[in-house]
Amino acid sequence: MEKREQLYEGKAKKVFATDDPDIVIVDYKDDATAFNGEKKGTIVGKGVVNNRMTNHVFRLLEKEGVPTHYIEELSDRETAVKKVQIVPLEVIIRNIAAGSFSKRLGVPEGKKFRQPTIEFSYKNDELGDPLINSYFALALELATEEEIETIKRYAFRVNEVLKAYFLQADIELVDFKIEFGRFKGQIILADEISPDTCRLWDVHTHEKLDKDRFRRDLGNVEEAYQEVFKRLGLD
């Protein structure tokens, strides 16, 4: 497979064409942003952690019946993936209250839910990714009813697999954001699953091991990414 021209540069990744029109190469950067791009910085080594962690998790999810865009890890920062059309929805699953949920609903961070929640945001930077529901998604023609049902089913399945996966590393999966794409008419998991897109807390101390350390200027940001990497046996 041959790497060709850059197609796109996002906040955390670059995407390159290949000689195969169905395959693109993602290249993970160390750049970090928060609050819709208002806060910018660098987290040294983040690109490697996020690339290797996402690939490991996506291979696990494939085995557990969730189709993903993953094809092959090419280097520490580069991975070949299926070229999908991204469904413009951010799908968020929560097991424990935190972040915008706690703020919006006045629930203290750390309150465990009896059942996980699901929510959708409309992926639109200009509007600041507004919270919507599945009827809004249908009205805006972001996805079909069948696609939304599939997305919900896969999202809860991802949660079950990931909760168990992190727990064996003494990590609690508080919440996470995933994105899906369409490939040859099918919905598959795309984008990434990493400390940028998950809230991960130490089971015993509840220490934050994710991007909240960057968002909230808590310090030891690099160390937290490396700690997750090490605990998951990816180093």
Rounded to a whole number of angstroms, the minimum distance from the CB of residue 197 to ligand UDP is 4
Q: Does 177 bind ligand UDP (CB under 6 A)?
A: yes
Q: Does 159 bind ligand UDP (CB under 6 A)?
A: no
DSSP 88-131: SEEEEEEEE--HHHHHHHT--TTPEEEEEEEEEEE--GGGT--E
Contact 189, 174 (CB under 8 A): no
Task: Single out the residue of 70, 233, 89, 95 nearest to residue 160, CA to CA.
Answer: 95
Binders of ligand UDP: how many residues, by CB under 6 A? Answer: 14
Cβ-based nearer residue to ligand UDP, 113 or 145: 113
Selected binder of ligand UDP within 46, 52, 211, 213 (CB under 6 A)? 211
User: What is the rounded distance in angstroms from the CA atom of residue 20 to the CA atom of residue 150?
Assistant: 28
Q: Does 62 bind ligand UDP (CB under 6 A)?
A: no
Selected binder of ligand UDP within 43, 48, 162, 198 (CB under 6 A)? 198
Cβ-based nearer residue to ligand UDP, 37 or 219: 37
**Segment holding 158, helix H or strand E:** helix 145-167
Binding mask 17-56 for ligand UDP (x = CB under 6 A): ----------------------------------------
User: What is the rounded distance in angstroms from the CA atom of residue 57 to the CA atom of residue 63?
Assistant: 10
Q: Does 197 bind ligand UDP (CB under 6 A)?
A: yes
Selected binder of ligand UDP within 176, 180, 201, 229 (CB under 6 A)? 176
Binding residues among 90-129 for ligand UDP as defined by CB under 6 A: 90, 92, 98-101, 129
Cβ-based nearer residue to ligand UDP, 23 or 220: 220
Q: Does 208 bind ligand UDP (CB under 6 A)?
A: no
**What do you get for the CA distance between the two ends of the chain, in Å?**
26
User: What is the rounded distance in angstroms from the CA atom of residue 175 to the CA atom of residue 226?
Assistant: 20
| Lookup: tokens for 164 | 């168990």
Cβ-based nearer residue to ligand UDP, 20 or 31: 31
Q: Does 73 bind ligand UDP (CB under 6 A)?
A: no
Separation in Å, CA 143 to CA 120, 140, 148 = 12, 8, 6
| Lookup: tokens for 68 | 């993903």
Instruction: Give the β-pairing of 131-132 and 171-183.
Output: unpaired
Selected binder of ligand UDP within 199, 201, 225, 227 (CB under 6 A)? 199
What is the binding site for ligand UDP (CB under 6 A)?
90, 92, 98-101, 129, 175-177, 197-199, 211
